[in-house]
Amino acid sequence: MTRHALIAILLTLADCCQEIRVKSLDGGVVVGRSMEFSLPLNSHLVSEPAGTVHQAPLPPNCHGNPVTFTNRFKTISNWNVFAGKWANSLADGVNEAGVSVSILWFKGYEEYLDPTDITGAACDSAIPHTKIGAYILAKYENVEQVKEDLESGKFPAIWGGTDLNMVPPIHFNIIDKTGAGLVLEHTKGEGVKWYDNTVGVLTNSPPYPWHMTNLRSYPHFQRNDKGREGFQYSSLGDTYTLSQQWTGSGLLGLPGDYTSPSRFIKAATLLSLAPKPATTDEAIVQVFHHMNAADIPYGIVETGPENRVSLTSWILVKDLGRGCVYYRAYTDLSVKRLCLHNLPDVRSAVRIEGNFDGGFRDTSGELQEIDNILLDKHTEL
């Protein structure tokens, strides 16, 4: 594949990323994020120690030393590889202060500063939007600090950086270990906007306020079945009752397609109806199941002029309080984990996708004669 062909494909990718937040009764905050793409992703989780230095490229009209920033915290972040080169922007990450940042596709609504407009003193603090994720993980302990810098003008000026000679259309979801959330968007005609993420969900286009307005159209879903007494009617003086035949009628009409608005509604509804988990471990399990409800199997969705199929390449589940990232990929279905406190103090990486055989554990050696099994053993939910 040529570089130009790859850029053309990237511009028409299915925008199907999703992120959700769950807070457990013991105070744990767990964030789940999926990556849907119509190209094979060579994705890695990259660990960086505190003290790692990042360098931003210089805008064309700036001279002198480029802007640099240094990690205050150890981090785990996700980086993709295209055409044998690391992407210029991380896709997701968490730092040891308990801050998570995710970058989701935002096609059709994005607009960033033109890099040629950055001159003079502005050169000393401006960074490309492809570096925002790394900057947030490097500098901030919580969402409130990000908001304070945005409101006071201390947050860097953001210009449209390139990745594979294109300006990726992206917006940002920032969550900390208290559960506070912030959506950061750069939109046409609006400039820089940020919003409290009160519902704990983010998908893709349109902008976050539009999704929240759309959510008002779906107030009627409920956990319990509707019409438990069945359908009753009268005919020729006799009364008849037709019992309902299926469970789940409380969610009749719930959007189930893969468009960004429908995925936002479905995720927000499921989160609102699900019982709050008692422990952080239970929250991790719940988030994986919520993310499975949005999974795109290979071949279901086609996108772009070449009709490339989209799929859920991987799912990350981040435990912000304990600094652990759980992950599974498309072919290797096993859940794996990286925790910040176990990472070496050198920059290192592990590939997310494994092989099919590595995703299973053979239990033939655990079989017991049937009479030795205690039939009253079970797992309570």
Count the domains in the chain.
2
Predicted confidence (pLDDT) at residue 37 exceeds the cutoff of 90:
no
- Assigned domain for 373 exists: no
Mean pLDDT of the chain: 90
pTM (2 decimals)? 0.91
Residue 268 counted as domain residue: no
What would the mean pLDDT of 213-219 be, rounded to a whole number? 96
Please report which confidence band the pLDDT of residue 381 belongs to, taking 50, 70 and 90 as the band edges.
low
Would you say residue 70 has pLDDT above 90? yes
- Tell whether 322 is covered by a domain: yes
112 and 239: one domain? no
Q: What angle do CA 124, 125, 127 make, to 5 degrees?
A: 120
Judge contact between 208 and 183, C-beta under 8 A. Answer: yes
Q: Is residue 325 included in any domain, yes or no?
A: yes
> Does 190 lie in the same domain as 321?
yes
DSSP at 346 = S
Same domain, 152 and 296: yes
Say what the pLDDT of residue 376 is: 61
Question: 310 CB contacts (<8 Å, ≥6 apart)?
Answer: 13, 14, 16, 36, 37, 38, 296, 300, 301, 302, 303
Do 196 and 122 lie in one domain? The reply is yes
Same domain? 241 vs 317: no
Residue 134 lies in a domain: yes
Residue 377 has pLDDT above 70, yes or no: no
Assigned domain for 372 exists: no
From the number of C-beta atoms within 10 Å of its C-beta (0-12, 13-18, 19+), residue 359 rates as: middle
Q: Do 284 and 231 belong to one domain? A: no
Average pLDDT over residues 213-231: 86
Is 59 a domain residue? yes
Q: Which helix (H) or strand (E) holds 36?
A: strand 29-37
Residue 305 shares a structural domain with residue 337: yes
Which tens digit of pLDDT belongs to each residue from 88-102?
Answer: 999 999 999 999 999
Within this chain, do residues 199 and 323 fall inside the same structural domain, yes or no? Answer: yes
Reading the block at residue 183, the tokens are 């959506």
Say if CB 185 and CB 213 are below 8 A apart. no
Query: Which domain range does residue 285 map to?
Result: 3-204+273-358
Q: Do both 200 and 315 map to the same domain? A: yes
pLDDT at 15: 57
At 118, list the tokens.
């950055």
Assign 6 a pLDDT band (cuts: 50, 70, 90).
very low
Those residues with Cβ within 8 angstroms of residue 78's Cβ, 6 or more apart along the chain or in another chain: 35, 43, 44, 45, 46, 90, 91, 92, 93, 316, 352
| Same domain assignment for residues 40 and 114 | yes
12, 157: one domain:
yes
CB-count burial class (<10 Å; 0-12, 13-18, 19+) for 259? middle
The answer as to whether 367 is a domain residue is no
Q: Choose among 185, 162, 161: nearest CA to 173.
A: 185
> Of 320-324, 351-355, 370-374, where does mean pLDDT reach its minimum?
370-374
Same domain membership, residue 115 and residue 234 = no
The C-alpha atoms of residue 249 and residue 217 are separated, in whole angstroms, by 18
CATH number at residue 305: 3.60.60.10
| pLDDT of 12 higher than 50 | no
